[in-house]
Amino acid sequence: DPDPIPQQYFLEVSSPGAERPLKHETDYEQAVGDYIHVSLFKKLDGKKVFEGTLKELLPDQLTLTVKDKSRKFDQVIDRQLIASARLAIEF
């Protein structure tokens, strides 16, 4: 079939899969054990952004296992502080 668009164009296809946002409770539940990116409304321990593996999910908080330059630790985050969260790719 001929192309219905006569001009030259660029078609970009994307998917929210690899870094899809976590918006609903089921999104968070399915992300337990996955690497995620969390942005906060205000600083917690001097930071507004955390990345780590979602270790535990409770009704009022979550726990991330975070790798710092020289150590690995669990960071507990009050869910009311979360501005946004999404799956992330670990480098």
Task: Give residue-wise pLDDT tens across range 4-16.
Answer: 888 888 877 766 6
**Listed residue (23, 62, 68) closest to 47, CA to CA:** 68
pLDDT in tens, 37-83: 999 999 999 999 999 999 999 999 999 999 988 899 999 999 999 99
Q: Strand (E) positions, 16-90?
A: 35-44, 47-57, 61-67, 72-78, 82-87
The CATH code of the domain at 25-87 is 2.30.30.180
Q: Which residues pair with 45 in a beta bridge?
A: none
pTM of the full structure: 0.80
